[in-house]
Amino acid sequence: MSDSPSSQLPTEATTAEVDVQPNTEAPLDASRDAKMRQMLGMKGAAKETNIWKIRLQLMKPITWIPLMWGVICGAASSGNYTWTLENVLISAACMLLSGPLMTGYTQVVNEYYDREIDAINEPYRPIPSGAISLSSAIAQIWVLLLAGIGLGFILDQWAGHQFPTITCIAIGGSFLAYIYSAPPLKLKQNGWLGTYALGSSYIALPWWTGHALFGDLNPTIIVLTLFYSFAGLGIAIVNDFKSIEGDKQLGLKSMPVMFGVTTAAWICVLAIDIFQGAIAGYLVYIHQNLYATILILLVIPQIVFQDMYFLRDPLKNDVKYQASAQPFLVLGMLVAGLALGHAGV
């Protein structure tokens, strides 16, 4: 027995109703994504009115992670880290120093002195958008700086340092951050010097801090991490591609402006790969062959992602490349730290 027309009508009507219902999930997802980008200090951020969230956005939390990781690598290279509650807590305090306090200070200083270029490249940022006043930004700079130096002194006391090594690293790092962004030196105007200064802040400075907390910071570790920082130079170049137009207008000599997009991209990937490979060679020299092999194996997927994404279109794929390849780079840093600690360097 066939269905009557009247029995089919409700089904058709129901189908029609389903078809015309608006999709509310996509706007909600977009809103959540915009808010998350706002908190992390990324492009596509939502406009924020809460002053504390604005202050957090100024500090760019997404940039804290590599420097907090550097502390872990330094603790590993000391060869003296043990898994006790006290050491875990003191390591967390050291990561607070390198991440939210000193990196946060660096980012706010950079935001303050880059407010004109950000008005071109990233007008949604708190200062060029008018979400926070210049006086409030200056106050935040001082709070973060003094808190960082104070915490560095406390960590020196815990470690029993006669010479305040960690405090000096904090002061030196804050000075480097200042001259990187502020006139008259403004190191970021010099492509090579400014980019290496940024690269060393990613790798060497937090590594020294973590190593000094649990061991003796010796010349070998200092030289090796400064050498490793040339890989950090490559990481820093990746961040320059989003600012090409603004850099050109304000006369900043970033690598993409100086050499063009294609050449700068090759400088970037060669710096990242060659200096990681050289560190692996040093690990072989000190008879840490297993660690050297693991490090090389971690470089291989970075090369693959460089070819898949970054070298094909650095302007379009810079974020995608960072998300794909940098986890392997930071894991390689930890492998190197463990090897140095195992060798007693």
- Span 196-218, pLDDT tens digits: 999 999 999 999 999 999 999 99
Residue 169 contacts residue 209 (beta carbons within 8 Å)? yes
More confident residue, 248 or 294: 294
The model's pLDDT over 267-289, given as tens digits with 9 standing for 90+, comes to 999 999 999 999 999 999 999 99
- Interval 90-146: pLDDT, tens: 999 999 999 999 999 999 999 999 898 888 878 888 999 999 999 999 999 999 999
pLDDT band at 11 (very low <50, low <70, confident <90, very high): very low
* 38 vs 231, more confident: 231
Helices (H), the chain: 5-20, 25-40, 51-58, 64-78, 85-96, 104-113, 115-121, 134-159, 165-181, 191-202, 204-214, 219-238, 244-250, 255-259, 261-285, 289-305, 314-343
Task: Tokens for 256, please give them.
Answer: 């993409």
- Residue 241 DSSP label: G
Q: Is the pLDDT higher at 15 or at 320?
A: 320
DSSP symbol at 62:
G
**Residue 262 CB contacts under 8 Å (≥ 6 apart), including other chains:** 314
Domain ranges of the chain: 48-217, 218-244+252-345
| pTM, to two decimals | 0.86
pLDDT at 189: 84
Task: Provide mean pLDDT across the span 173-181.
Answer: 96
Superfamily of domain 48-217: UbiA prenyltransferase (1.10.357.140)
Q: How far apart are CA 175 and CA 143, in angstroms?
A: 15
